[in-house]
């Protein structure tokens, strides 16, 4: 298990909406829309939401439109 996804002893790391927004470089409202639409799984804690790190990672992988190895290559000319 990788360190970034779960903490010690396999515990899931939960992120706040603000943390998710910062990581994704989007607004908090965008994160709330994803949660309410069911696209990004979250747990409700009182009046707040917490997003499991694993769920965010899976969402980003499934939403990728560019393969990771293609990033940074720039344009090719024929």
Residue 8 has pLDDT above 60, yes or no: yes
Beta bridge partners of 44: 49
Strands (E) across 1-78 are located at: 14-16, 43-45, 48-52
- List pLDDT tens digits, range 47-64: 999 999 999 999 999 988
Q: What is the pLDDT of residue 71?
A: 65
Q: Are 55 and 49 in contact (CB under 8 A)?
A: no
- List pLDDT tens digits, range 32-45: 999 999 999 999 99
Instruction: Catalogue all structural domains in the chain, each as residue range(s) with its CATH number.
Output: 9-64 (1.10.1660)
CA nearest to 17, candidates 31, 5, 1 = 31
Q: What is the pLDDT of residue 72?
A: 64
What is the average pLDDT across 16-42?
Answer: 98
């Amino acid at each position: 298990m990788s360190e970034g996804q779960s903490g010690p002893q396999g515990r899931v790391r939960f992120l706040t909406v603000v943390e998710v927004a910062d990581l994704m470089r989007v607004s908090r409202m965008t994160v709330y829309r994803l949660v309410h639409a069911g696209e990004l799984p979250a747990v409700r804690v009182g009046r707040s939401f917490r997003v499991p790190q694993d769920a965010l990672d899976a969402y980003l992988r499934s939403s990728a439109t560019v393969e990771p190895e293609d990033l940074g290559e720039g344009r090719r000319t024929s």
